[in-house]
């Protein structure tokens, strides 16, 4: 497989605190890659460094063979990196439709944008039903659908999702995992931060386990059964 994203020696500091330390990994084109680790392990910071929301202190990030560290966050979106933030972050005073249209801000073809809105609404029929509703009035699960749909509107080559099942009902968690599986099947490259949805971890092509900002283990998702995950998280808390 071909590496779409290559991280080498990535370090991110917040003042004297090191959030990510000398991390190196690759995300293969068309793959589903997961980052796991306890709260504060550096997973969210790693995604933000890739999308340009936080500066890197050292190391390199190459996307499709080209360095992205000199690029601003909006430029990284233009080259094909989309980021669904933890906590959803929809625009609450805009309608569902307006949120989706805003996700296509880097594009110009109205015909293609409308076709992709139809694609997103086919994936998330509830968004079609609520397209004129303010995003802030949606349920948590509906806002997560909207956040994913808005990211897809940029036609990304790499879609990063940070804790997409956090705070959702069991039924909604199952639905979001089905969506992740569908996107993977369709060939979209995915980088997922997940902590609690074991099914999402186990279906990953590659999983990188992070502790205190360092990658300490990696392997196929099938290796990360419940016993491994229990031991890993208990060790993190010790």
Q: What is the pLDDT of residues 173-194, one digit of tens each?
A: 999 999 999 999 999 999 999 8
| Residue 172 lies inside a defined structural domain of this protein | no
CA distance 232 to 92: 37
| Residue 68 lies inside a defined structural domain of this protein | yes
Residue 197: pLDDT band by 50, 70, 90 thresholds? low
What range does the domain containing 35 cover?
A: 1-80+191-238
Residue 1: pLDDT band by 50, 70, 90 thresholds? low
| Residue 152 lies inside a defined structural domain of this protein | no
Q: Is the pTM of this model over 0.85?
A: yes
Q: What is the pLDDT of residues 61-93, one digit of tens each?
A: 999 999 999 999 999 999 999 999 998 899 999
Residue 224: pLDDT band by 50, 70, 90 thresholds? confident
What own/partner pairs with CB < 8 Å and gap ≥ 24 does 105-108 have? Answer: 105/154, 106/74, 106/77, 106/78, 106/154, 107/153, 107/154, 107/155
Total domain count, the chain: 1
| Residue 103 lies inside a defined structural domain of this protein | no
| Residue 115 lies inside a defined structural domain of this protein | no
- Tell me, what CATH number does 30's domain have? 3.40.50.300
| Residue 195 lies inside a defined structural domain of this protein | yes
| Residue 120 lies inside a defined structural domain of this protein | no
| Residue 98 lies inside a defined structural domain of this protein | no
What own/partner pairs with CB < 8 Å and gap ≥ 24 does 12-15 have? Answer: 12/42, 12/45, 12/46, 12/49, 12/54, 12/55, 12/56, 12/57, 12/213, 13/57
Listed in sequence order, the residues at least 6 apart from 80 whose beta carbon sits closer than 8 Å to its beta carbon are 63, 64, 155, 156, 157, 158
């Amino acid at each position: 497989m071909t590496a779409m994203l290559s991280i080498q020696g990535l370090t991110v500091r917040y003042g004297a605190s090191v959030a990510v330390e000398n991390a190196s990994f690759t995300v293969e084109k068309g793959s589903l890659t997961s980052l796991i680790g306890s709260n504060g392990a550096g997973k969210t910071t790693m995604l933000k460094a890739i999308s340009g929301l936080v500066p890197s202190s050292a190391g390199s990030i190459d996307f499709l063979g080209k360095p992205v560290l000199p690029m601003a966050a909006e430029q990284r979106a233009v080259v094909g990196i989309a980021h669904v933030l933890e906590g959803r972050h929809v625009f609450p005073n805009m309608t569902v439709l307006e949120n989706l249209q805003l996700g296509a801000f880097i594009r110009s073809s109205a015909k293609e944008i409308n076709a992709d809105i139809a694609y997103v609404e086919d994936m998330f029929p509830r968004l079609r039903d609520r397209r004129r509703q303010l995003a802030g009035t949606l349920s948590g699960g509906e806002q997560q659908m909207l956040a994913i749909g808005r990211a897809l509107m940029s036609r990304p080559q790499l879609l990063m999702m940070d804790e997409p099942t956090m705070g959702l009902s069991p039924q909604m968690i199952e639905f979001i995992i089905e969506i992740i599986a569908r996107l993977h099947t369709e060939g979209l490259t995915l980088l997922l931060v997940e902590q609690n949805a074991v099914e999402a971890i186990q279906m990953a092509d590659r999983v990188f386990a992070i502790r205190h900002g360092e990658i300490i283990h990696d392997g196929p998702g099938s290796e990360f059964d419940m016993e491994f995950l229990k031991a890993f998280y208990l060790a993190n808390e010790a």
